[in-house]
C-alpha cells in the first residue's frame, strides 16, 4: 500500500474520533426529559469515548508508522536491487570494454603481421628481379662464350689449313735438300735446329711467365681472402626515418600541442619532419640527414621523459642535445682511432672522423666503411710485410672529406686533402685520398692496398643500393625514349618504372599503328636501357567528341 494512502486513512480515523468526541459532548450539554432518558453516567461515557478516540488515533498512528516503515523497507529493497542491477550492468560493461580492447589489440597485431608479410613479399620480389637480371646476364655470358667458341673453331680451322700448307712446304723443302751437298745439308740442319731451339725457348719462357702470373694471382687471392675472413664487417643501413616509442598514445596530443605549436617548434629547431599517424605508441622522425634525425630522436626522448612539452622547453632541450652531440661525435672519432691503434692522429681530426658516422654513400655508413677499409688494408699489409699502421691510417682517412663536403661544397677528395694537410698527415694518406678515385697514380704500396680494400668494401653484397638520383634518371630516360616516337602526345612512367603509359594523338596514329608502336617502343627500351624485371608498355589511343547543350 502506498504511504500517502495510509496517511490519509490515519487522518480520516483521527477526524472521525474528533467528531464522535464533539457529538458526545453535545449530548451531555443537551437536557433530556427525565421520563424519556435513563440516568447515565455522562462523564464516564465521555471519558470512554475520549479513550476510544485516543486508542483509535494511536492505532492509526501505529498503522501509519508501520506502513511508513514497510514503505521505507520496500524502497530500501528497491534501491538495493537497483544498486545490484547497476553493479551487474557495470561489470558487464567492463567486460565488454575488455573484450573490445582485446579485439583492438588483436586487430593491431593482425595489421602488424600483414605489414611484415607485405615487406617479406616486397623483398622476395626484389630477389626475383635480381635473379632474373642475373639469369639475363648469364644468358648474355653464354651467348658471348658461344661466340668465342665459334671464333676458336674458325681459328682452329685456319690453323689446320696453315699446318697443311706448312707440311706441303716441308715436303718441297725436303725434296730440295735431297739434291744438296753434305756441307749444305749440315748447314741447313743446324739452321733448323737453331730455329726450333729458339721456338722451344720462347714457349718455355711463356710457360714460366704464365706459371709465375698464376702463382702471383693465387697468392694475391689468398692474401685478400685471409684479410676478409679475419674481419667481421658491420652492416648498418641508414634509411630516412627513425621511430621513437611513446609511453602511451596520449603523448601524441601533447607533442602536437595546442593548434600544432609544439610540433611546429620542434620541426623548425631540428630540421626534421615528425610523422604522427594511427600507429599506436610510435612517432616517426623523417629526414635525409642522419645527424638531424639523431638529434631529433635524442631531444624527443628527453622531452617525453621530462613530461614538460612546450615551445620554450623544446628549444632548451634541443640546444642541450646539439651541444652534447658535438662532444659525442668527437668521442666517437677518438674511440675509432684508438680501436685502430692510431694513437698519434691529431686530436683535431677526431670530430671529423666521428662525423662520418652520420654520412652515407649509396646507403653505406661512411664511418663503418672507412673502418672496414682500414682493417682490410692493414691485414693485407701484414701479410705482405708492409707498414700495417700506415695502411690502416690511410684506409681510415681516405674518405674524411665526406664529413664536411655537403656543408662546404666541392669534391670530397679536395676537402679531405686540405684537412689532412692542415693536421699534418703523412704524404701516403694524401696519396690514398686522391688515388682511390684515380685522380693521381698510386705512389706507395700501402695506398694500393687501400684502393683494393675500398673496392672490396663497396662491392660486398648488400653494402650499397641504388640511389634516388639513379632511380629518377632511369624513369626520365624511360619517358624520354617513349616521347621520341612520332605521334606520342605524352608518356608517364608508373609503378616504380615497371610500366609506361603512352598517350598518342588519335589523328596521327590509327589502332593498327598503336599496336605496332607498342612493339617498337618495347624493342627500343630493351636495346637502350638496363632495368630489373620487365617493363609493361601500354599505348592508349582515345578519341573524344564534346558538345554542350545550352
Q: Residue 245 pairs with which residues in a beta bridge?
A: 282
pTM: 0.43
Residues in the chain: 550
The answer to the question of residue 275 being in a domain is yes
The answer to the question of residue 131 being in a domain is no
pLDDT for res 232: 45
Please check whether residues 114 and 201 belong to one and the same domain. no
| Inter-residue contact 303 to 317 (CB < 8 Å) | yes
Please check whether residues 344 and 326 belong to one and the same domain. no
The answer to the question of residue 234 being in a domain is no
Please check whether residues 151 and 100 belong to one and the same domain. no
The answer to the question of residue 183 being in a domain is yes
Please check whether residues 46 and 118 belong to one and the same domain. yes
Residue 199: CA count within 13 A, CB half-sphere: 6
The answer to the question of residue 150 being in a domain is yes
Q: Which domain holds residue 21?
A: 3-122
Please check whether residues 402 and 512 belong to one and the same domain. no
**Count of domains for the chain:** 5
The answer to the question of residue 211 being in a domain is yes
Please check whether residues 217 and 276 belong to one and the same domain. no
Q: What b/e string do you get for 528-538 counting C-beta neighbours within 10 Å, with b at 16 or more?
A: eeeebeebebe
| Inter-residue contact 356 to 367 (CB < 8 Å) | yes
How does pLDDT run along the chain (550 residues), one tens digit per residue? 555 555 666 666 666 666 566 655 554 444 444 444 444 577 888 888 888 888 888 888 888 888 888 888 888 989 989 889 889 898 999 999 999 988 988 888 888 888 888 888 888 888 888 888 888 888 888 888 888 888 888 888 888 888 888 877 776 776 666 665 667 667 776 777 777 776 666 566 656 666 666 665 555 555 555 555 455 444 444 445 677 777 777 777 888 888 888 888 888 888 888 888 777 778 888 877 777 888 888 888 888 888 888 888 888 888 888 888 888 888 888 888 888 888 888 888 888 888 888 777 766 778 888 888 888 888 888 888 888 888 888 888 888 888 776 666 667 888 888 888 888 888 888 888 888 777 888 888 888 888 888 877 765 544 444 455 666 778 888 888 998 998 898 888 876 677 888 989 888 888 878 888 888 999 899 888 877 567 889 998 887 777 778 7
How far is the C-alpha of 516 from the C-alpha of 539, rounded, in Å? Answer: 10
How far is the C-alpha of 116 from the C-alpha of 171, rounded, in Å? Answer: 80
How far is the C-alpha of 247 from the C-alpha of 150, rounded, in Å? Answer: 71
The answer to the question of residue 29 being in a domain is yes
Question: Which of 279, 298, 330 lies at the terminal end of a domain, its last residue?
Answer: 330
Amino acid at each position: 500500500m502506498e504511504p500517502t494512502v495510509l496517511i490519509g486513512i490515519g487522518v480520516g480515523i483521527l477526524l472521525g474520533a474528533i467528531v464522535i468526541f464533539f457529538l458526545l459532548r453535545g449530548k451531555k450539554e443537551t437536557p433530556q426529559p427525565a421520563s424519556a432518558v435513563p440516568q447515565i453516567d455522562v462523564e464516564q461515557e465521555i471519558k470512554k469515548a475520549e479513550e476510544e478516540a485516543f486508542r483509535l488515533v494511536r492505532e492509526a498512528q501505529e498503522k501509519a508508522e508501520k506502513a511508513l516503515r514497510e514503505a521505507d523497507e520496500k524502497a530500501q529493497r528497491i534501491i538495493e536491487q537497483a544498486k545490484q542491477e547497476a553493479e551487474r550492468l557495470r561489470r558487464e560493461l567492463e567486460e565488454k570494454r575488455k573484450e573490445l580492447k582485446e579485439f583492438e589489440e588483436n586487430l593491431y597485431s593482425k595489421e602488424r603481421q600483414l605489414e611484415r608479410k607485405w615487406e617479406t613479399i616486397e623483398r622476395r620480389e626484389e630477389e626475383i628481379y635480381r635473379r632474373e637480371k642475373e639469369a639475363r646476364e648469364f644468358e648474355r655470358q653464354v651467348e658471348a662464350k658461344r661466340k668465342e667458341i665459334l671464333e676458336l673453331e674458325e681459328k682452329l680451322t685456319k690453323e689446320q689449313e696453315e699446318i697443311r700448307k706448312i707440311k706441303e712446304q716441308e715436303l718441297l723443302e725436303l725434296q730440295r735438300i735431297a739434291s744438296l751437298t753434305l756441307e749444305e745439308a749440315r748447314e741447313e740442319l743446324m739452321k733448323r735446329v737453331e730455329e726450333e731451339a729458339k721456338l722451344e725457348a720462347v714457349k718455355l719462357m711463356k710457360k714460366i711467365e704464365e706459371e709465375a702470373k698464376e702463382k702471383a694471382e693465387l697468392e694475391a687471392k689468398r692474401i685478400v681472402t685471409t684479410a676478409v675472413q679475419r674481419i667481421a664487417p658491420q652492416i648498418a643501413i641508414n634509411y630516412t626515418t627513425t621511430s621513437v616509442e611513446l609511453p602511451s598514445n596520449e603523448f601524441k596530443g601533447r607533442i602536437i600541442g595546442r593548434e600544432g605549436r609544439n610540433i611546429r617548434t620542434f620541426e623548425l629547431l631540428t630540421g626534421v619532419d615528425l610523422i604522427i599517424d594511427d600507429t599506436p605508441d610510435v612517432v616517426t622522425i623523417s629526414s635525409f640527414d642522419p645527424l638531424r634525425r639523431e638529434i631529433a630522436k635524442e631531444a624527443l626522448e628527453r622531452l617525453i621523459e621530462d613530461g614538460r612539452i612546450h615551445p620554450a622547453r623544446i628549444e632548451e632541450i634541443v640546444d642541450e642535445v646539439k651541444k652534447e652531440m658535438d662532444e659525442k661525435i668527437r668521442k666517437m672519432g677518438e674511440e675509432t682511432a684508438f680501436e685502430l691503434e692510431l694513437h698519434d692522429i691529431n686530436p683535431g681530426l677526431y670530430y671529423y672522423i666521428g662525423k662520418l658516422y652520420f654520412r652515407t654513400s649509396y646507403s653505406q655508413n661512411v664511418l663503418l666503411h672507412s673502418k672496414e677499409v682500414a682493417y682490410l688494408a692493414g691485414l693485407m699489409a701484414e701479410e705482405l710485410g708492409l707498414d700495417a699502421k700506415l695502411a690502416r691510417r690511410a684506409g681510415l682517412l681516405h674518405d674524411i672529406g665526406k664529413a664536411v663536403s655537403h656543408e662546404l661544397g666541392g669534391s670530397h677528395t679536395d676537402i679531405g686533402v686540405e684537412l689532412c694537410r692542415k693536421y699534418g698527415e703523412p704524404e701516403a694518406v694524401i696519396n690514398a685520398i686522391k688515388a682511390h678515385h684515380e685522380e693521381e697514380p698510386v705512389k706507395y704500396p700501402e695506398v694500393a692496398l687501400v684502393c683494393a680494400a675500398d673496392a672490396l668494401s663497396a662491392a660486398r653484397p648488400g653494402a650499397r643500393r641504388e640511389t634516388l638520383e639513379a632511380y629518377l634518371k632511369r624513369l626520365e630516360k624511360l619517358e624520354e625514349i617513349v616521347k621520341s616516337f612520332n605521334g606520342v602526345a605524352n608518356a608517364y612512367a608508373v609503378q616504380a618504372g615497371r610500366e609506361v603509359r603512352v598517350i598518342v594523338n588519335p589523328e596521327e596514329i590509327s589502332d593498327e599503328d598503336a599496336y605496332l608502336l607498342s612493339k617498337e617502343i618495347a624493342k627500343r627500351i630493351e636495346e637502350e636501357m638496363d632495368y630489373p624485371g620487365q617493363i609493361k608498355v601500354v599505348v592508349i589511343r582515345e578519341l573524344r567528341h564534346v558538345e554542350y547543350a545550352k
